[in-house]
């Protein structure tokens, strides 16, 4: 019997058969390799590490771009005001535009209001408390923001991030994501509106204030502010899917 593995040059049928299938197998293995890498990324760097590095890069970029957006928004407001000064129709148009921008949160807002500060509870906790109850969660922030809106707040910012109609609050590991911005405790929620009304509403018995105070009174503080500035919303504002329905 011939040994197809022992021959150097001679291509007898047996060696040829094994060789052909060896080519096919080699091709298959490489394809599997490539497919696997394309699915899970390169094995060279630890995935978590690369993710963390990438996130940090992205965070810097996001911060830079947010500043850029805030600058451009202010500039746009100025320009629109300048254009609107000339004609009465333009002025009217600009007036309604500025009102809409104020509503949408695209301008900075100044006024009185309240400041709600949420803090994680003491690390040691008490026997009756689960550790998870002593942490400020995304839902706590969400509830406070929701109660402030319903109490008549006109503008809200969470840790200097303006809350818009599209803002989401999510829990990501030990931090909270407000849109794409990571925040941690203390969470400072500023709301512009009638400060007296806002304060009484938020301190309503059975509300979120009550709920958090039952865990630990130090975890939530509410103070009235006579004047504060909230930054403009710097997240994405474009529409990709929907389009405006124009009345004919």
Partner 1 sequence: MILIPILCLLLGAAIAFLVNQPLRGEFGIYIAVACLAGLDSLFGAMRSSQEGKFRTDVFVSGFAFNTLAASGLAWLGDRIGANVFLVCAFIFGTRIFNNLSLIRRHWLTQWQDAQLKKRQEALQAQAAASAPNQQAKAN
Nearer to partner 1, 16 or 56 (CB): 16
Q: What's the rounded Cα separation, in Å, for the pair 96 and 80? A: 11
Nearer to partner 1, 11 or 82 (CB): 11
Please list, in sequence order, all residues whose beta carbon lies within 8 angstroms of the beta carbon of residue 199, skipping any fewer than 6 positions away. 114, 222, 224
SS3 call for 28: helix
Considering only the stretches 1-9, 123-131, 148-156, 170-178, report the one whose residues sit in contact with partner 1 under the rule CB under 8 A.
1-9
Nearer to partner 1, 13 or 242 (CB): 13
CB 152 within 8 A of CB 195: no
The binding track of 39-78 with respect to partner 1, each residue x by CB under 8 A or -, is: x---------------------------------------
CB 54 → partner 1: shortest distance, Å?
Answer: 22
CB 178 within 8 A of CB 185: no
Return the residues of window 10-39 that contact partner 1 according to CB under 8 A. 11, 13-15, 17-39
Count residues binding partner 1 (CB under 8 A). Answer: 35
Nearer to partner 1, 8 or 248 (CB): 8
Q: Cis omega (within 30 of 0) on the bond before 186?
A: yes
CB 48 → partner 1: shortest distance, Å?
Answer: 23
Mind giving me the DSSP string for 100-125? HHHHHT-S-EEEEEEEEEE----SS-
Mind giving me the DSSP string for 69-92? HHHHHHHHHHHHHHHHTT-HHHHH
CB 41 → partner 1: shortest distance, Å?
Answer: 12
Q: How far is CA 89 from the centre of its chain?
A: 39
Nearer to partner 1, 17 or 83 (CB): 17
CB 19 → partner 1: shortest distance, Å?
Answer: 4
Question: Can you give the binding site for partner 1, defined by CB under 8 A?
Answer: 1-8, 11, 13-15, 17-39
């Amino acid at each position: 019997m011939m040994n197809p593995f022992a021959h150097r040059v001679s291509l007898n049928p047996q060696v040829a058969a094994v060789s052909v299938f060896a080519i096919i197998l080699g091709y298959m293995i490489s394809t599997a390799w490539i497919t696997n890498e394309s699915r899970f990324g390169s094995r060279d760097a630890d995935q978590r590490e690369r993710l963390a590095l990438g996130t940090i890069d992205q965070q810097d970029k996001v911060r830079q771009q947010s500043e850029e957006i805030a600058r451009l928004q202010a500039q746009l407001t100025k320009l629109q005001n300048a254009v609107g000064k000339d004609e009465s129709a333009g002025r009217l148009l600009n007036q309604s535009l500025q009102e809409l921008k104020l509503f949408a949160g695209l301008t900075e807002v100044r006024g009185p209001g309240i400041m709600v500060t949420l803090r994680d509870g003491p690390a040691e906790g008490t026997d009756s408390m689960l550790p998870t109850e002593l942490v400020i969660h995304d839902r706590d922030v969400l509830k406070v923001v929701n109660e402030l809106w319903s109490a008549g707040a006109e503008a809200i910012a969470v840790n200097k991030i303006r809350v818009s109609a599209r803002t989401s609050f999510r829990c990501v590991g030990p931090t909270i994501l407000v849109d794409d911005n990571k925040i941690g405790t203390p969470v400072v929620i500023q709301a512009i509106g009638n400060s007296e009304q806002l304060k009484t509403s938020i301190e309503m018995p059975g509300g979120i204030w009550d709920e958090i105070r039952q865990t630990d009174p130090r975890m939530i503080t509410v103070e009235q502010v006579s004047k504060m500035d909230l930054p403009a919303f710097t997240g994405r504002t474009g529409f990709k899917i929907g389009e405006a329905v124009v009345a004919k």
